[in-house]
DNA sequence: GTATTGTTTAACAATATTGTTAAACCTATG
DNA sequence: CATAGGTTTAACAATATTGTTAAACAATAC
């Protein structure tokens, strides 16, 4: 059967291209990325990119949605558990930092592309359940506040701080490394330690 | 004297161009910015941009250095005061958020350009006293720790948290607004309130 | 007023980047 | 082994973007 084999071949080449595209787009962003870069990274002809994905824009959309999902996935998963609030926070922080240690370029890529395309925002985020996103967590916080288990904080401020303390270092990494005079490996060590530092900071801020 | 008058005219046109360049580069970043965009924003011919600044790259350098300075300036100024640690932290937070409420696109612009030009890092930051930057503050924190006035925290982690909690919301603004379902004006209100929220969070984390 | 100098523009040139096409190349199948 | 299918490439075409130039223009100095 030729179908199967060609399909396999298709997927190999397609995956090869996608890997290259992922790497280039994620590192450089849409505007600075060149089809040539991607072709070279994949070790193939530029025309083949168009054969598989028609245009730069279409190819980018695939990578963007994929990256967006990676960016949100663990967050959403943990938010939807029914862990007690403090465990959930610790879980969010640990999982977020661990994820970003694997894909450190993700936040800058996502936030940059979103900020630079204010018109297409709805379209870009259409596959994310944007609204129900934080509602569960806000609800849980409000309940805990009402029950007197935590301090009455503004959930929006709290979520901002949670995301900020975990994500920001990866966005500012080159600057931070330079300013603090640390290396790539030292950065990783700092971020590993940071999981506990941030968990403590955030949880302590909820205690009365 | 013709010199004076042409100088004035020069400066007018030059400033006009710089304003347009600042606006376009800061919003779009180098790669996505078009000389055409800048010329249109300034209401002049494209060739005039080259007459004044030779090339896109040269023009960008001016804007980048200018923006970098805006980004660092108040930070450095406050760091070099001899305020007690808690006052200094509050001062840093208030000043940083106030600055960014005026220039909300600054952080994404700076951190993006730095991250996407890892090779030119030294050159880009050559006019910032990178090394002495945090040293003073780290020194101050260590002294306070030694004196038993604050908890023994890692100054690097603390500075990361300070910058993160102030700066990150501006980088993630479009996403946050969408996710939280808030408007531009509401965002400003949240950020005004955030000055005190963050100050409290950070200072509390230093108490024993 | 006209010559000089710097400013501005329109038209052009050069380059970079994306996109297309026709033919070469496999590979499986009859 | 010929051929039919999809795959891959080299060469080309089209467009977008930056950069240049010569001439028009404006203001000043003589």
Q: What is the pLDDT of residues B52-90, one digit of tens each?
A: 999 999 999 999 999 999 999 988 899 989 999 999 999
What is the third-level CATH fold of A1-54? Arc Repressor Mutant, subunit A (1.10.10)
Distance B38 CA to D8 C1' (A): 41
CA distances from B167 to A61, B14, B27, B208 (A): 28, 31, 17, 27
Nucleotide of closest approach to B48 (CA, C1'): C8
pLDDT at A61 over 70: yes
CATH architecture for the domain at A64-204: Orthogonal Bundle (1.10)
What is the third-level CATH fold of B65-204? Tetracycline Repressor; domain 2 (1.10.357)
8-state DSSP, A31 = H
A26 touches chain B (CB under 8 A): no
pLDDT of B10: 52
User: Each residue of A74-124: pLDDT tens digit?
Assistant: 888 999 899 999 999 999 999 999 999 999 999 999 999 999 999 999 999
Of B4 and A86, more confident? A86
Q: Which residues in chain B (111-150) have CB-CB distances under 8 A to chain A?
A: 111-112, 114-116, 118, 121, 125, 130-131, 133-134
Domain boundaries, chain B: 1-54, 65-204
Contact A95, A74 (CB under 8 A): yes
Of B127 and B17, more confident? B17
DSSP H or E run through B10 = helix B2-32
Token reading at B87? 């006052």
pLDDT of A10: 53
- Proximity of residue A58 CB to strand C below 7 A: no
Reduce the DSSP state of residue B117 to 3 states and report it: coil
Contact B49, B34 (CB under 8 A): no
Average pLDDT score over chain B:
93
Calculate what percentage of chain B has a pLDDT beyond 90: 84
- pTM (two decimals): 0.94
């Amino acid at each position: 059967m030729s179908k199967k084999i060609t399909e396999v071949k298709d997927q190999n080449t397609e995956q090869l291209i996608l890997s290259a595209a992922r790497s280039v787009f994620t590192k450089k962003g849409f505007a600075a990325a060149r089809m040539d870069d991607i072709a070279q990274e994949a070790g193939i002809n530029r025309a083949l990119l168009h054969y598989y994905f028609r245009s730069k824009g279409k190819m980018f959309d695939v990578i963007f949605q994929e990256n967006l999902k990676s960016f949100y996935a663990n967050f959403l998963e943990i938010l939807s558990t029914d862990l007690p609030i403090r465990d959930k926070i610790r879980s969010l922080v640990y999982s977020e930092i661990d994820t970003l240690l694997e894909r450190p370029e993700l936040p800058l890529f996502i936030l940059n592309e979103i900020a630079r395309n204010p018109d297409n925002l709805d379209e870009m985020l259409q596959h994310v359940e944007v609204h129900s996103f934080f509602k569960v967590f806000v609800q849980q916080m409000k309940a805990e506040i009402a029950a007197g288990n935590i301090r009455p904080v503004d959930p929006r401020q709290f979520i901002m701080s949670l995301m900020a303390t975990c994500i920001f270092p990866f966005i500012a990494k080159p600057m931070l490394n330079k300013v603090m005079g640390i290396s790539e490996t030292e950065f990783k060590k700092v971020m590993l330690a940071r999981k506990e530092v941030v968990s403590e900071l955030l949880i302590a801020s909820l205690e009365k």
